Amino acid sequence: MKKPRILILGAGYGGLMTAVKLQKKLGVNDASITLVNKHDYHYESTWLHEVAAGTIAPDKARFAIKDIINTSKIDFVQDTVLSIEPDDKKVILEDGELEYDYLVVGLGFEAATFGIPGLLENAFTIGNINQSRLIREHIDYNFAMYNNEKEKKPERLTIVVGGGGFTGIEFLGELANRVPELCKEYDIDRDQVRIINVEGAPTILPGFDPELVEYAMNSLEKRGVEFKLGAMLKECTPDSITFEKDGEQETIATKTTVWAAGVRANSIVEKSGLEHNRGKVEVSPELRAPSHPEVFVVGDCALIMNEETGRPYPPTAQIAMQEAEVCADNLAKLVKGEDELEAFEFINRGTVASLGHSDAMGAVFGDKKLFGFTASLMKKVIDNRSLFKLGGIGLLLKKGKFNIF
Ligand code: FAD
Ligand code: NAD
């Protein structure tokens, strides 16, 4: 009998974790498994703000996919997915096409720019290693240029971060630590540098615990971050942003706008013909696409409703990795001819956000609040846990965060 063909798209938290679990559950003769990813490396998306601020090197946040997968069981194809054709059970790549019996879509997220004029062309986003490296280089370049021009341009030293959600806040925390180093390196007075956060809601981290929000604001303000709250970013040009607050518009001159105000699923999903809800596949409890049950969707491309709140679970690495485990279990069951599949249930282990290298805040184990050093330590434990789950002790020792102080 022909072996079933399992095709996994994307080697992020969802896709790579599915592959790692499947290689443990299935033998070479059970199925032919292929993993496709744009790059030959996996990056820790949850560390990209550190790469963007320049507080860690890009190589720290990535590792070779072939070091993690068992290549005798999984065929790795480095290629870019162009489209999914679920009715024909095939996927079109830049360099060919692949057919499947079972598909796992784990193509992750892209920035949501909501049609705001100039954002797509002029703002930076923290979406992958290349984009993050570009932000770091761009900030460095502008600091270097500042003292090389007769007419000083303060907009070179003004960094605007659009959005005060978790990504924006974690990036601000890193920036607040990095800027003093940059000032020293390029002979610039710290007082000449502005780091500004523009957040549309009346508070940063809307909906999060107010005590933790206040802690984060204080920590960032103490290090020189300015907040514009209730301020909707309306336009971005190469040299400025404009926001609206209380019905008034204000423009800030800046050469660096980093847009961190929301994500959407990879747009390949919306164009695929799979039934979707605002670009994501609202999966069945077994994580299958309702219109095409041989297609599983994990991570930021999947939508799962939280029955308690009536709203979708936020897209996180935490949920992506949990989904991957159930997805791998269910695929293994189907391959072995079992038809009673497992239903996914999210176990919320809490949320901890870093505020730079040695500060953080968050809530774990239900409602246990953590601040400062303890929270920062917990964040590193969480980051290390994800490495361990993907690549075991070897990967943890190679890439782990052990610089606690
Ligand atoms: P991803 O991890 O984004 O992986 C998608 C993969 O698909 C990538 O390898 C990509 O290269 C590949 N790919 C994309 N398009 C193509 C294509 N066309 N062809 C081939 N390959 C392609 N969540 C948390 O739980 N905790 C955190 O602390 C946290 N911090 C974050 C910090 C930042 C700065 C950001 C941006 C996000 C953070 N998140 C965090 C959210 C988390 O990173 C995402 O929810 C998670 O990465 C989603 O996993 P995924 O597998 O769906 O996608
Ligand atoms: P988000 O949607 O959580 O936050 C976006 C923020 O931008 C919101 O506060 C929103 O009010 C604001 N905003 C939207 N439009 C705006 C505009 N025009 N002008 C000004 N502000 C505007 O997005 P995110 O922060 O990118 O996070 C994406 C996902 O990743 C979330 O699920 C988040 O929980 C997760 N994440 C988690 C962590 C963590 O657990 N430590 C860290 C980063 C990201």
Backbone angles phi, psi at 280, to 5 degrees: -115, 155
Residue 303: pLDDT over 90: yes
Which residues carry out catalysis?
Answer: 170
pLDDT tier for residue 367 given thresholds of 50, 70 and 90? confident
140: tokens are 């460095």
153 found inside a domain: yes
Q: Atom 15 in ligand 2: which residue has the minimum CA distance?
A: 261
392 and 311: one domain? no
The C-alpha atoms of residue 111 and residue 327 are separated, in whole angstroms, by 26
Q: What is the pLDDT of residue 405?
A: 72
What is the number of domains present in the chain?
Answer: 2
Ligand at shortest distance from the CA of 197: 2
CATH code of the domain in which 92 resides: 3.50.50.100
72 found inside a domain: no
The C-alpha atoms of residue 53 and residue 270 are separated, in whole angstroms, by 31
19 and 101: one domain? yes
Q: Atom 42 in ligand 2: which residue has the minimum CA distance?
A: 166
313 and 244: one domain? no
Residue 256: pLDDT over 90: yes
| Ligand 1 atom closest to the CA of 319, numbered from 1 | 25
187 found inside a domain: yes
Does the Cβ of 106 fall within 6 Å of ligand 1? Answer: yes
Q: What is the pLDDT of residue 210?
A: 97
360 and 240: one domain? yes
Residue 262: pLDDT over 90: no
Rg of the chain, C-alpha, whole Å: 22
Q: What is the pLDDT of residue 365?
A: 86
| Ligand 2 atom closest to the CA of 353, numbered from 1 | 41
101 and 137: one domain? no
Ligand 1: which of 44, 316, 347 to mutate, judged by most atoms within 8 Å of the beta carbon?
316
131: tokens are 């984009």
The C-alpha atoms of residue 68 and residue 24 are separated, in whole angstroms, by 12
256 and 405: one domain? yes
From ligand 2's centre to the CA of 200, what distance in Å? 11
Which of 348, 365, 380 corresponds to the end of one domain? 348
CA-nearest of 344, 349, 285 to 317 is: 349
From ligand 1's centre to the CA of 38, what distance in Å? 13
Q: What is the pLDDT of residue 143?
A: 98
Q: What is the pLDDT of residue 339?
A: 83
Q: What is the mean pLDDT of the chain?
A: 97
Mean pLDDT of 53-71: 97
Q: Atom 38 in ligand 2: which residue has the minimum CA distance?
A: 166
Domain that holds residue 340: 5-38+79-111+264-348
